[in-house]
Structure 1
Amino acid sequence: MQHSVFFKPSTLAVAVASLCLLPGHLAASADNHNAEGEVVTVLGETYRHTATKSALAPQETPQGISVITSDAMQQRGVSSVSEALRFVPGVNTELRGGAVSRMDFYTIRGFDSDYNFYDGLPLQYNSWNLQPQIDPVAIEQIEVFKGPTSVLYGNIPPGGMVNIIAKAPQRTPQHSLTLASGTRRLAELQWDSTAQIGDSDFAYRFVGLVRKRDGQADTTKEERLVLAPSVNWYMSEQTLLNVNVYFQDDPHMGMYTSLPASGMVTPNPHGTTSPSTFPGSSHWNEYDRRVTMLGYKLQHRFQSGWVFLQNARYMDAKAYQENTYNNPAGLNDDQRTIGLNAYLTDEKSKGFAIDNQLSGQLTTGRFEHNLLFGIDYQRLKSDILYKDTSDNYAHTIDIFNPDHGVIDRGNLTFNYSQDLTIRSRQTGFYVQDQVRLGDLVLIGGGRYDLVKSDQETKALYQGFPSQSSEHADQKHFSFRVGGLYQLANGFSPYISYAESFEPVLGIDKNGKDFEPATGHQWEAGVKYEDSDRQATIALFQITKENTLVADPENIYGPKMQTGETESKGVEFEGQAYLTDALSLAVNYTYIDMEITKDTTGLQSKTPIWVPEQTATAWLNYAPYQGVFAGTEFGLGIRHIGETQMDAANSDTVPSYTLADLSVSYDLGGMDNDLTGSKVQVAASNLFDKEYYSCYDKANCWYGAEQSIELSLTLSY
């Protein structure tokens, strides 16, 4: 078997050249240093960096991490975490197209990721359709930790993780109200209020949102209500208690239905569909989700300087869905109609997660130790009812002239049903030591996990019942080590090794329980930082092992645990001020990914949704004097390379390049009392370019259409 070259010389040369050519003069550098000192206040006293679960800077961590601030999200007018990640290297977002907004799916360094964290605790997800989402209105920043992260967080895919940092109460009063309108009849109201409560030891924050708009697909709509209050109680100079609530109600969330590639990505004799085509029934298309999360953080600082943090959250969530799915054989012989089956899911999840951390510093000789000890625990119980007509795709729809009343809900007969109960529990014990010896930073950590998962299934097919169960009772140890050296010229070369694991349910043909799927990564790179610019170039190689594959002697029987996938590549991320008013952020990723072990003919194939090359750039101009003083201009370019259409790599999905634009004006230029208030226009996919994403030839989605949003923010 032939393997691709690890790194293309031209790719590496471009990245290194970009790093060296980043210009660097920033007149406001002193202000930047001051702002850096305010980060802890803005993010909250209980904030911990995702990469270390400590207050230590990401620049001291020998592993890749990217940060998206609330200002960047607001400037770009994003309405989901997936949209916020569009400019992050190594991440490919919106895998199911622009019309699907109910879930945040993406790949990180080639591996699927749908398991986010919110303030350091998992957003517990049942792997069906009930994925809690966090709206950007409640987000202070998003941190993307690249590569395996199990040493701190347990069960995580090897590509990396996304940690969403919540907006925290501030003692300094800040209040804002935002009204927005735009394409697809958008009507939106946001609010954000924070202050100390009188002369008390309490500070509050209350953020919220009401949004309504038409869905991208015909006959669909989207609605959302978010309420996120939180309170800080400064019990003493050493002790802080934060109590927080997140409530989200999504009575309508567009559509999930896919289209065949024919007439979209590939030619069809009858013409083409459009990004607004809805290949389903308006009488059988519903998604209603409600998520409530109640949490607290208790932090105590001992006189010795050690800090204890307990972070806990309870979740109660439910989602009801009515939908259809396509005949996997694709279009009928007429090349314009496709068969549909109707199905529904009714899902309820209740979960609890808690993380206990003790951190502090010790000095032994010339070595400074930043120690972290932790115990975390989580449990989740999900009840899922699934019903399916299973009637040989008896309902058909013309994708070029769809009849959205094709399904009569009163006459549906569900021939197949499943009643599932899923339970999972995970307990983790972890320790980390970040050691500094002069300019050398070393990090090492280990974690031991105990995981139990059970799934009980009761099925009924055409009156015939069946019952099955699967379980996993697994133990796993993960670790990471790394080193970074901070040179006097701002460069910090580093190298690291990290591991991940994911529990696997079931048994093999010999009745032996499956072991966890594991991953490991080698990463080497250089970080650079001064007052004017910041950049990281990283080379990585990730191998995931123990994935399930079919038994070639009985492809319909129990699976074998012999699969392996490898991802290797290079990432570049850089930001710099070209002048004191002009800044530029540039990102580039190259990934060479392939299935290296398989039993079903997929060996040496590239998984879907993994572009070989992606690149983004964002140019920002904010003059502080002259005729445009108070105005901020932003222009973004996103390029996503071609991807495979299906697992067999039988065809490709074309690459695409999109442009985004943002213009805002601070109303303080008209009246000093309005300083901080602004009017803004944000446009994504400015030239309304069509682009696509595919799972296979029967299931493709259009990317997001042109979106233009006009907003008015009043700050006081």
Structure 2
Amino acid sequence: MSFSHAVAGLLPVVALFGGDMADALADTPETASSRSHYARSHAGGSSGATPPKQPVVIGKKEELVVTATGLSRASSATKTRTPIIESPQTISIVNREEIELRASPTIADALSYTAGVQAEPSGIDSRVDEVSVRGFGAGGFSSNNNFVDGLRLPSGGQWTRTSFDPFALQQIEVLKGPSGALYGQTAPGGVVNLVTKRPTAKSEGEFFLQGTGFTDLSNWQGQASGDLSGRLNKSGSLLGRAVAMAKYGDTQVNGVQLGRYYFSPSMTWRYAPKSSWTVLAQYQRDQGGSTYQFLPATGTLYASKGRHIKNNANLGEPHWNTFDRNQALVGSFLEHHFNRFFTLRNNTRYTYIDTLYRATVLSGDTLSKCPATIAGCIPGETIARRAVEGRGRSQGVTTDLQLEGHMTTGPVRHLLLAGTDYFYTNWNHSRDLVQSSLVLPVLNIFDPSSRGSSGFAGALSPQVYTSTVSQQNGIYFQDQLKAGRLRVTVGGRQDWARDNTLNVLKQTRYITNSSAFTWRAGGVYLFDNGLVPYFSYAQSFQPQVSDPSTSLTGEPFKPTTGDQYEAGLRYQYGKSIYITFGGYQITQKNTTTPNAAGAMCGTSTCLVQTGKARVRGLELEGRANLPWDMAVIFTGTRSDARIRKSNTASEIGNYMPQGPKWMASLFVDQRVRHGLLKGTGLGGGVRYTGHSYGDTANKLSIPGYTLFDMFLRYDFGEAHPRYQGLTFSLNMRNIANKRFVATCTAVAACYYGQGRSLTARLEYRW
């Protein structure tokens, strides 16, 4: 698809934000400070799900932004307005300005310059927001560690997962380490909280058109996005916002097209001083195909006949490649300020997901020898396939009620938080299979072509049909103490979780009841010179929802548990420099492993919960605004993720899968303020991901890789005031189009990472 054809399909969205709506806001020509790349990030923050206050622009002089300074606030750290430098747990923030500067197309891409975070650990996947934090899954299919506005997203099966477009977000928060004491059941690596856009008191807006080309730039995708926010009445007691975007076109994978359409209206009623009620709705439609595909180890990880499969190759069937999802969320966010001592908050959201997925995937590795039954087979180039169809539907409600109090005991000031939350999810999931004997193989993996899929629909056989109701109740308490320059945080939580699952095909039901108490404690000391040492201990738990027939005892598995010790040093210099360096150890227990005696449960070895994993790591993250109009972000991560206990003796001491030993990144943004190039911005970044393994046996060795990014930006308004608010930018990721394997979980399950992409954007803000 050409760029012009991709954009043509978006013209109706352009009309939505033109005409009278733009004219109505023409009396507010100032740069929208809430999204200005140069605005300061010392913003008031949120508690629960209230978004951070907007940065302040002093006069007309704009300043480079340091995202996530210690003065910034993130609701996920403590569920209060505590500055992150005072939190004993490490937190990273990627705000709106950084997302837009890099024109990040996905949540994972937006987090690619964040310490301890591996973006797209399982390769490109347009279906979900998959990231790994400190060696453990933190979203997508791997765990339930994704939150939106401080509320848990619904759990579910393979086809009932959510995904969010970065344009919908105000910022992304990564709370690193176990978070059970605040959020209940989570994996121990960390929580990713997505903060959505909310109404602002200042009337402002933006609109942009962009086109993105992939790999060799023969595949193009177009996008149109608009955002309007401001007062709905003269007094400013009613605020409104409308966010919309549409994109359609090609992807990195040849023959795979997809579209995404998003609309989010919201309204805030400020009915009393420091009190407000926000109602927010979101609807997202994903329609088209999926970039996710299984690739063989021979041809990706290892050369076949001295050749490798291209990173834009499609080994599936174009007419059996579907990913259609309807995703709707409606939320209520209430904050009532009684007096200077007490504040009550209630955040509630309903979520609905409906998904259809079809794909043709591989069955085994590339054939080294050709059987006589496969006509046209070429050794080292032919591979067998199978086809799948998945359907999922989920609906759920989550609510969080919090009471915040302030009190003083002698020289100690207390910020108290007590709360209770509940979530309920009812989801159905099915997977049907077309056996490999009924699917024609790919004859040439280096030049794949369609073999047809017309008979797939009639050849589907049921494989998995599941219906589950999941619930969690939790009560929690937290005390943040201030005594001089000392800050201490202690908190605990009791959870009760229940999962009721029906295997529809076997008509068997199994119920898993889990309960756990988790706690955390930590301290921070604020020295006058900007140095801030910190220490923390935190716990987590995560229920294991699985058929007890795979257990040696026949009983449901217990939750996995995790804990972390962390200590480090932070440095804050005004609002210009923020650096954090720390070390941590995470231990996860109760992981499943085959029983030592080899007893069988049906056709597979029975499992027991005697496994243990341990991750030790060091992290460095720094963000600085330098005097010569340069902003810098730098990160470094050293991780040692090992299997400590397993009944497979050869695995003990091995590295955990998808756990790079080293990661590092550097991003530079330089602005030109004077001379002929006034208004120009340029910069780029480098990302390094070190060696890892794809399996627990450590037989699939994944090489490290280095990727380079760059951008060029021109602010017409800075050079020519009459064009105030108009900018043009070019962003390129993976400049060299480096072909790299993100991971391999099996010889027929390797995954390529993101290839080259070039994004051209024309934007207007008012």
Q: Same fold by TM (over 0.5)? A: yes
1:326 is aligned to: 362
Task: Output the CA distance in 1 between the equivalents of 2:41 and 2:661.
Answer: 37
2:426 is aligned to: 381
Correspondence list, 1:226-265, <5 A = 226-265=262-301
Give the alignment partner of residue 159 of structure 1, picking from 170, 181, 189.
189
Task: Output the CA distance in 1 between the equivalents of 2:233 and 2:457.
Answer: 61
Task: Output the CA distance in 2 between the equivalents of 1:410 and 1:592.
Answer: 45
Q: CA deviation at 1:557?
A: 4.4
Change (3 A) 1:675 1:561: same
For residues 221-272 of structure 1, the C-alpha deviation after alignment (integer angstroms, 9 at most, x for no partner) is: 1210010111001122253110001110001243322110111221212622
Q: Contact conserved, 2:266 with 2:278, CA < 8 A, in 1?
A: yes
Q: Does 1:699 align with 2:749?
A: yes
Instruction: Tell me which moved more, 693-702 or 404-413.
Output: 404-413
For residues 247-304 of structure 1, the C-alpha deviation after alignment (integer angstroms, 9 at most, x for no partner) is: 1000124332211011122121262210111111112111101100000101100024
Give the alignment partner of residue 43 of structure 1, picking from 52, 63, 67.
52
Q: Does 1:430 align with 2:481?
A: no
Q: Contact conserved, 1:49 with 1:58, CA < 8 A, in 2?
A: no
Structure 2 counterpart of 1:88, one-letter code: T
Q: Contact conserved, 2:277 with 2:333, CA < 8 A, in 1?
A: yes
Q: Does 1:521 align with 2:588?
A: no
Instruction: Tell me which moved more, 54-63 or 182-191.
Output: 182-191
Q: Contact conserved, 1:397 with 1:406, CA < 8 A, in 2?
A: no
Change (3 A) 1:331 1:360: farther
Secondary structure (helix, strand or coil) at the match of 2:272 reads coil
Q: Does 1:490 align with 2:548?
A: no
Instruction: Tell me which moved more, 392-401 or 587-596.
Output: 392-401
Secondary structure (helix, strand or coil) at the match of 1:128 reads coil
Change (3 A) 1:445 1:203: same
Change (3 A) 1:470 1:484: same
Give the alignment partner of residue 660 of structure 2, picking from 599, 611, 629.
611
Give the alignment partner of residue 621 of structure 1, picking from 670, 693, 709.
670
Q: Contact conserved, 2:579 with 2:621, CA < 8 A, in 1?
A: yes
Give the alignment partner of residue 632 of structure 1, picking from 681, 684, 689.
681
For residues 424-477 of structure 1, the C-alpha deviation after alignment (integer angstroms, 9 at most, x for no partner) is: 000110000010110111010000001001211122xxxxxx333332111100
2:117 is aligned to: 91
For residues 311-346 of structure 1, the C-alpha deviation after alignment (integer angstroms, 9 at most, x for no partner) is: 010011100011123224553522221111111111
Q: CA deviation at 1:36?
A: 1.4
Q: Contact conserved, 1:389 with 1:416, CA < 8 A, in 2?
A: no
Structure 1 counterpart of 2:474, one-letter code: G
Q: Contact conserved, 2:176 with 2:189, CA < 8 A, in 1?
A: yes
Q: Does 1:345 align with 2:399?
A: no
Task: Output the CA distance in 2 between the equivalents of 1:378 and 1:293.
Answer: 14
Give the alignment partner of residue 311 of structure 1, picking from 322, 328, 347.
347
Secondary structure (helix, strand or coil) at the match of 2:527 reads coil
Change (3 A) 1:410 1:686: closer
User: 5+ residue gaps in structure 2?
Assistant: 1-36, 55-72, 214-218, 370-378
Instruction: Tell me which moved more, 148-157 or 112-121.
Output: 112-121
2:540 is aligned to: 500
Q: Does 1:103 align with 2:147?
A: no
1:134 is aligned to: 164
2:234 is aligned to: 199
User: 5+ residue gaps in structure 1?
Assistant: 1-30, 460-465
Structure 1 counterpart of 2:485, one-letter code: D
Q: CA deviation at 1:33?
A: 10
Structure 1 counterpart of 2:52, one-letter code: L
Q: Contact conserved, 2:289 with 2:321, CA < 8 A, in 1?
A: no
For residues 512-570 of structure 1, the C-alpha deviation after alignment (integer angstroms, 9 at most, x for no partner) is: 33221100000010011012311000100000000111223225244201111000010
Q: CA deviation at 1:391?
A: 4.7
Q: Contact conserved, 2:286 with 2:326, CA < 8 A, in 1?
A: yes
Aligned length: 678
Q: Contact conserved, 1:282 with 1:405, CA < 8 A, in 2?
A: no
Instruction: Tell me which moved more, 535-544 or 216-225.
Output: 216-225
Structure 2 counterpart of 1:544, one-letter code: Q
Task: Output the CA distance in 1 between the equivalents of 2:271 and 2:315.
Answer: 57
Secondary structure (helix, strand or coil) at the match of 2:459 reads coil
Structure 2 counterpart of 1:469, one-letter code: R
Structure 2 counterpart of 1:539, one-letter code: G
1:420 is aligned to: 466
1:171 is aligned to: 201
For residues 606-637 of structure 1, the C-alpha deviation after alignment (integer angstroms, 9 at most, x for no partner) is: 12211100000011112333333322222111
Structure 2 counterpart of 1:275, one-letter code: N
Structure 1 counterpart of 2:636, one-letter code: Y
Change (3 A) 1:83 1:691: same
Q: CA deviation at 1:577?
A: 3.0
Q: Contact conserved, 2:157 with 2:428, CA < 8 A, in 1?
A: no
Task: Output the CA distance in 1 between the equivalents of 2:332 and 2:53.
Answer: 13
- What's the TM-score, normalizing by structure 1? 0.91
For residues 577-626 of structure 1, the C-alpha deviation after alignment (integer angstroms, 9 at most, x for no partner) is: 33241222110000001111112342212122111000000111123333
Task: Output the CA distance in 2 between the equivalents of 1:548 and 1:193.
Answer: 50
- What's the TM-score, normalizing by structure 2? 0.85
1:24 is aligned to: none
Structure 1 counterpart of 2:80, one-letter code: S
Q: CA deviation at 1:643?
A: 1.4
Q: What is the Cα-based RMSD across aligned positions, in Å?
A: 2.0
Change (3 A) 1:627 1:670: closer
1:28 is aligned to: none
